[in-house]
Amino acid sequence: MRTRKKPWTQRELATNDHIVHEPALYKGRWREYFGNDGPVHLELGCGKGRFLARMASVNPEINFVGLERDPNILAAAGRNVADAGNAALILGDAKSLAELFGEGEADKIYIQFCDPWPNKKKWAKRRLTNARFLEIYRRVLRDGGEVLFKTDNRQLFEFSITQFSAAGWLITAVSLDARGANAAGGNAFPPTEYEEKFMALDMPIYQLEARPLERKAEKDKEQTDAEHIPPREEQASGHEVAGRGHREQSEPDNGEEGQEGRGEGQRRG
């Protein structure tokens, strides 16, 4: 999403009291910031904040924080959430999330219509569902906390499923066309700005929810992996049992190779 520089951006960023200027100060203390013990939900790449404003208005018991790296867009979001007492906005990048939120501090993370960074392998690491980002989300989510991910881009969706699975997340819900759920009233999530555009074009909306292994289960798994002594034939064949999981997760481009050249059109970069 590209925006023209707006003359009012700086003023809005400086004066809008929903925009948190030193968000790292609240790491581990976001409930103090909101003045309650309610759940904390994060939206990454929140755009102009329409989703956040709608969610905040129908869920007054939940504290919402939107993160957006484009100052012009964040300024617009500031105006859109002006009436929400349970919403805050941060100018920042998703890759810095762990500097802004404590371990297990978030109950839910929304990633909606993020840039697909199509086709080029070297761009895979920029996708917000890349394994490296998933590791950050795992740290800030509480046990049982989930990511809701929506996209119009099938290649990105397939890539994301591969990344969540390889990182050991449990995919708890998948829809290859979330518009059906919307129409049936079964979808608790209001559409974002981009989602409205895609629905108007009659395009499918891919959606999934996923959660990482709980911390105890993860520690048990690490211990089991550490205790596992590979049988002699595996060692002799150079098959690194203990390193297998690590390799899959640290090479987030794996899922992309097979997607290239399928010919599905790309609209955004």
Ligand X SMILES: C[S@@+](CC[C@H](N)C(=O)[O-])C[C@H]1O[C@@H](n2cnc3c(N)ncnc32)[C@H](O)[C@@H]1O
Which residues fall within 8 angstroms of residue 120, CB to CB, at 6 or more apart?
none
- 101 Ramachandran zone, left/alpha/beta (phi>0; psi -120 to 50): beta
102-131 residues near ligand X, rule: CB under 6 A = 112-115
What's the first-to-final CA gap in the chain, in angstroms?
9
Enumerate the active-site residues.
Answer: 115
Q: How far is the CB of 52 from ligand X (least distance, A)?
A: 9
Alpha carbons 120 and 134: distance in angstroms, whole number: 20
71-90 residues near ligand X, rule: CB under 6 A = 73
136-195 residues near ligand X, rule: CB under 6 A = 192-195
Residue nearer to ligand X on the CB measure, 46 or 62: 46
Choice from 56, 67, 109, 205 touching ligand X (CB under 6 A): 67
Residue nearer to ligand X on the CB measure, 45 or 118: 45
132 binds ligand X (CB under 6 A): no
Cβ(53)–Cβ(191) below 8 Å: no
Q: Which two tokens stand for residue 113?
A: 């219509």
The stretch near ligand X (CB under 6 A) out of 16-24, 63-71, 167-175, 220-228 is 63-71
Which residues fall within 8 angstroms of residue 248, CB to CB, at 6 or more apart?
166, 254
101 binds ligand X (CB under 6 A): no
Residues that bind ligand X (CB under 6 A): 1, 44-47, 67-70, 73, 93-95, 112-115, 192-195
